[in-house]
């Protein structure tokens, strides 16, 4: 117990000393002293404190031996303080100022990582996610043998998963809107929009884990589109839905959705003859 109290006392004393030293240096210390305390603060995990000190000295260090290191340390301090907007700007300023600098590779990587940490949840606009993917790809192109390569690739895969999820949510929204035409323009149709969105997602991300979800959504949308179509388009759309059914079975023969898929097919089969008959009737009246 005495040992524990002694350690706690020393830790508290060190923190108090550090805090007093920080305050003193911030108020009246030289730029060199502030820089040293900034590095100490960073090493101790006091990233906000380090950021404040570095912001104060960085302009004065321009053109000196400390200029490059202080700018990178400022960027890392902001990043570790989770101030990602500022961090991204500082890292970008670093590699633009020092394209062949000691920390240029890391700066490129952390610009992308800063954007990565700013990306929103999948249901929101994904502009920042696309930007982050682009930055990671730029990093990989610039440093193909980097030790940070795997981290960058893993981040891209994760961001792509978010983009795919966004596409799925968009396609699902179109499907849920169904026959509602208030959001459609130029004769558009929500079921068609669902189908196109899902098909494009499968084409853009062929290895996504949501591939089956997209395929099932396409099948359902084609079924509903067919059953609600005008007579002149029903035969073609019923056949398209049946083709989609067989395509689903071929690609996902052990799907947990087989009962639902078969139920859709059973509803489609009787409509083939009806749609053909209706089509023939329409042709005969012309």
- Per residue in 119-140, pLDDT tens? 999 999 999 999 999 999 999 9
Q: Tokens for 275?
A: 């749609």
CB contact burial 119-141 (16+ within 10 A = b; e otherwise):
beebeeebebbebbbebbeebbe
- Indicate whether 215 pLDDT > 70: yes
* Of 221, 220, 166, residue with least CA distance to 192: 221
How far is the C-alpha of 173 from the C-alpha of 187, rounded, in Å? 18
- Indicate whether 159 pLDDT > 60: yes
How far is the C-alpha of 63 from the C-alpha of 214, rounded, in Å? 56
- Indicate whether 210 pLDDT > 90: yes
Contact 232, 282 (CB under 8 A): yes
- Kindly state the average pLDDT of the residues 65-91: 96
Mean pLDDT score of the chain: 86
pLDDT of residue 183: 52
Q: Which residue has the higher pLDDT, 218 or 185?
A: 218
pLDDT of residue 22: 62
- Indicate whether 47 pLDDT > 50: yes
How far is the C-alpha of 226 from the C-alpha of 180, rounded, in Å? 16
Contact 216, 248 (CB under 8 A): yes
pLDDT of residue 3: 44
pLDDT band at residue 63 using 50, 70 and 90 as cut-offs: confident
- Indicate whether 207 pLDDT > 60: yes
């Amino acid at each position: 117990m005495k040992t524990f109290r002694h350690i706690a006392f020393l830790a508290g004393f060190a923190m108090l000393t550090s805090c007093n030293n920080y305050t003193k240096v911030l108020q009246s210390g030289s730029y060199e002293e502030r820089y040293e305390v900034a590095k100490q603060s960073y090493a101790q995990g006091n990233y906000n404190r380090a950021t404040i000190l570095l912001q104060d000295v960085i302009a004065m260090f321009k053109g000196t031996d400390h200029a490059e290191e202080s700018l990178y340390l400022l960027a890392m301090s902001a990043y570790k303080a989770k101030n990602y907007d500022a961090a991204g700007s500082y890292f970008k300023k670093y590699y633009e100022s020092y394209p062949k600098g000691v920390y240029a590779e890391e700066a490129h990587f952390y610009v992308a990582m800063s954007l990565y940490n700013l990306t929103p949840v999948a249901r929101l606009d994904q502009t920042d996610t696309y930007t982050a993917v682009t930055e990671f790809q730029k990093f990989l192109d610039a440093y193909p043998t980097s030790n940070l390569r795997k981290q960058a690739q893993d981040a891209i895969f994760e961001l792509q998963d978010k983009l795919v999820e966004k596409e799925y949510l968009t396609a699902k929204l179109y499907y849920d809107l169904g026959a509602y035409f208030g959001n459609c323009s130029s004769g558009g149709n929500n079921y068609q929009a669902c189908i196109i969105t899902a098909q494009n997602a499968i084409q853009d991300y062929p290895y996504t884990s949501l591939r089956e979800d997209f395929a099932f959504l396409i099948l359902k949308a084609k079924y509903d589109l067919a059953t609600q179509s005008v007579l002149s388009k029903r035969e073609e759309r019923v056949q398209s839905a049946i083709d989609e059914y067989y395509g689903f079975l071929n690609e996902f023969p052990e799907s947990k959705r087989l009962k639902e898929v078969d139920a859709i097919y059973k509803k489609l089969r009787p409509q083939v003859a009806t749609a053909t008959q209706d089509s023939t009737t329409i042709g005969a009246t012309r």
